[in-house]
Amino acid sequence: MSSLRAGVLGVGHLGAAHARLLSQRPGFTLVGIHDRDAERTSFVATEIGTRAYTDPITLLRSIDAAIIAVPTGAHYEFGCMALKSGCHVLLEKPLATDLTEANELVRLAEQEERVLAVGHIERFNGALLAVENRLQQPRFIESLRTAPFQDRGTDVTVILDLMIHDIDLVLALANSPLADVHAVGVPVLSPSIDIANARLVFESGTVANITASRVSIKPLRHLRLFQDNGYFSLNLATGVGEHYRRRDALNVEEIKGIESIVERLPVHAVKGEPLARELDAFAEAISGNPSRLVLGPAGRDALATALRITSEIEESTNVLTQDS
């Protein structure tokens, strides 16, 4: 496949990282970047060595693939703009702010016969890749994601900002229709929900407990997966973890503590940058092999679950307010 002409729209922290990697990936040619902040666009373009575009349409008409990393509220606008310009699109998570927008983006991508992907980067986490061949149907999933407070991202709840990473992972790992949702959450430092916990129950019997906070002292990204023959404890931030696997053919008389029941296997992340793997998967999807890339419908499912969690929290908050 020939090199894809690519551009980045929105060059904040994540968009600039996309642009840097695109300028280095063999499957792409970085044509240019755009941001509504002209000064920021110029700075990043000079730093990377690419062209700064003041008009997004001009950039979109010059490329094959668009990476969109604008604020969440502008995802729909820029996603539609790129698809209508004939571009394949990798849109940072979440896909949109509501399901009406998400459905229209998915419909438009199908109409234009373009790839629409969503940047759920944890699908490419090296720790998960290291254990994927040992994963079976998980029975219980526990996820914890925390981050210090910062102004960036507070235009949406912590559910759409942080928890949606884990929602996408849980939906993929459970691979079963969602049966029930219970959730709690509160605003702390912003007007919207800053910390939340959700319990997801699937028709298969799998249960997931997800906690996300953006008002914590230090960042954490932990995932534990329990299955019939043992469990995995993974640090998604550092890429290390442990696999506790049940030993075969145990004699009850030989059991002398947990070490005699399970063997402890270290987990080390597959080397490489997850964002680079995601961009390579995007190129493969454009050539007809979507592999592990999160396409529009899966991104819509993650958004639908996130909105269901949000609704559950808002409804329970209203009940508490009425009762007080």
Q: How do residues 124-169 score in pLDDT, each as one tens digit?
A: 999 999 999 999 899 999 999 999 998 765 778 999 999 999 999 9
Percentage of residues in the chain with pLDDT exceeding 90? 84
Q: What is the pLDDT of residues 190-241, one digit of tens each?
A: 889 999 999 999 999 999 999 999 999 999 999 999 999 899 999 999 999 9
Q: What is the pLDDT of residues 280-302, one digit of tens each?
A: 999 999 999 878 899 999 999 99
Calculate the CA 233 to chain-centre distance.
19
d(CA 34, CA 83): 16
Q: What is the pTM of this model?
A: 0.92
d(CA 184, CA 171): 19
pLDDT at residue 247 in the model: 72
Please give the domain boundaries of the chain with CATH numbers for all domains.
Answer: 4-114 (3.40.50.720), 123-272+306-316 (3.30.360.10)
Provide the token pair at 249.
Answer: 């053919």
Helices (H), the chain: 13-22, 38-48, 56-60, 75-84, 99-112, 126-131, 158, 164-174, 274-286, 296-323
Position 184 pLDDT exceeds 60: yes
Q: Percentages helix, strand, coil for the chain, rounded to the nearest 5?
A: 40, 25, 35
d(CA 316, CA 185): 9
Residue 223 phi, psi dihedral angles, 5° rounding = -140, 130
pLDDT at residue 283 in the model: 96
Residues 6+ apart with CB under 8 A from 13: 152
Partnered with residue 267 across adjacent β-strands are 241
Pairing of strands 116-119, 88-92: parallel
Q: Higher confidence at residue 322 or residue 75?
A: 75
